[in-house]
Amino acid sequence: MQVSSLVSLAEISTAAARLKGVVTRTPLLPFPDSRGAGSSLLVKPESLQPTGSFKLRGAYTAISSLSAQARERGVVAHSSGNHARAVAYAAALLGAPATVVIPRNAPQIKIDPVRLLGAQVVTCEPTLAARTATTQELADRFGYTVIPPFDDRVVISGQGTVGLEIAEDCPEVDLVVVPVGGGGLVSGVAAAIRELCPGARVVGVEPALAADARDSLRRRERVAWAAADTARTMADALRVEQVGELPMRHMLGLVDDIVTVTEDEIAEAVRRCALQARLVAEPGGAVAVAACLLRMGDLPPARTPVAVLSGGNIDPVMLSEILAAGGTSSAVPE
Q: Kindly state whether residues 121 and 256 are assigned to the same domain.
A: no
Residue 220 domain-assigned (yes or no): yes
Q: Kindly state whether residues 90 and 164 are assigned to the same domain.
A: no
Whether residue 232 is predicted with pLDDT greater than 90 in this model: the reply is yes
Q: Is 239 exposed, middle or buried (0-12, 13-18, 19+ CB in 10 A)?
A: buried
Q: For residue 44, what are the β-bridge partners? A: 308
pLDDT tens-place string over residues 127-183: 889 999 999 999 999 999 999 999 999 999 999 999 999 999 999 999 999 999 999
Q: How confident is the model at residue 331 (pLDDT cuts 50, 70, 90)?
A: very low
Strand order of the β-sheet with 305-309 is 29-30, 42-45, 305-309, 175-179, 201-207, 257-261
Q: Where are the alpha helices (DSSP H) in 278-327?
A: 287-294, 316-324
Q: Kindly state whether residues 100 and 232 are assigned to the same domain.
A: no
What pLDDT is attached to residue 61? Answer: 98
Residue 138 domain-assigned (yes or no): yes
Residue 77 domain-assigned (yes or no): yes
Q: Kindly state whether residues 200 and 230 are assigned to the same domain.
A: yes
The catalytic site residues sit at: 55, 310
Pairing mode of beta strands 305-309, 42-45: parallel
Q: How confident is the model at residue 39 (pLDDT cuts 50, 70, 90)?
A: low
Q: For residue 122, what are the β-bridge partners? A: 101
Euclidean distance between CA atoms 42 and 61, whole angstroms: 26
What pLDDT is attached to residue 38? Answer: 45
What pLDDT is attached to residue 107? Answer: 81
Q: Kindly state whether residues 278 and 220 are assigned to the same domain.
A: yes
Pseudo-torsion of CA 268, 313, 284, 117, nearest 10°? Answer: 180
Whether residue 81 is predicted with pLDDT greater than 80 in this model: the reply is yes
Q: How many folded domains does the chain comprise? A: 2
- Residue 28 C-beta-side C-alpha neighbours within 13 Å: 20
Strand order of the β-sheet with 120-124 is 120-124, 98-103, 75-78, 145-146
What pLDDT is attached to residue 40? Answer: 87
Residue 333 domain-assigned (yes or no): no
101, 121, 146 — which closes off a domain?
Answer: 146
Residue span of the structural domain in which 98 resides: 56-146
Residue 207 domain-assigned (yes or no): yes
Burial 183-215 (b: 16+ CB within 10 A, else e): bbbbbbbbbbbbbbbeebbbbbbbbbbbbbbbb
Average pLDDT over residues 59-80: 96
- CA 138-61-106 angle, 5° bins: 50
Whether residue 333 is predicted with pLDDT greater than 60 in this model: the reply is no
CATH, residue 235: 3.40.50.1100
108, 128, 146 — which closes off a domain?
Answer: 146
87, 119, 146 — which closes off a domain?
Answer: 146
What pLDDT is attached to residue 109? Answer: 83
Radius of gyration of the chain (CA): 18
Pseudo-torsion of CA 222, 228, 234, 240, nearest 10°? Answer: 30
Q: Is 243 helix (H, G, I), strand (E, B) or coil?
A: coil
CA dihedral for 296, 298, 300, 305, sign (positive or negative)? negative
Euclidean distance between CA atoms 80 and 270, whole angstroms: 19
Per-residue DSSP letter, 13: H
Residue 276 domain-assigned (yes or no): yes
Q: Kindly state whether residues 126 and 207 are assigned to the same domain.
A: no
Q: Kindly state whether residues 203 and 306 are assigned to the same domain.
A: yes
Euclidean distance between CA atoms 276 and 274, whole angstroms: 6
Q: Kindly state whether residues 79 and 174 are assigned to the same domain.
A: no
- How far out from the chain centre does Cα 200 lie? 20
Residue 311 domain-assigned (yes or no): yes
Please choose, from the candidates 181, 302, 167, the residue with its C-alpha nearest in 3D space to the C-alpha of residue 251. 181
Q: Kindly state whether residues 16 and 132 are assigned to the same domain.
A: no
Q: How confident is the model at residue 37 (pLDDT cuts 50, 70, 90)?
A: very low
Q: Kindly state whether residues 222 and 130 are assigned to the same domain.
A: no
In single-letter form, the type of residue at position 255 comes to V
What pLDDT is attached to residue 105? Answer: 85
Average pLDDT over residues 41-52: 98
Whether residue 2 is predicted with pLDDT greater than 90 in this model: the reply is no
Pseudo-torsion of CA 7, 11, 16, 18, nearest 10°? Answer: -120
Euclidean distance between CA atoms 163 and 54, whole angstroms: 11
Whether residue 1 is predicted with pLDDT greater than 80 in this model: the reply is no
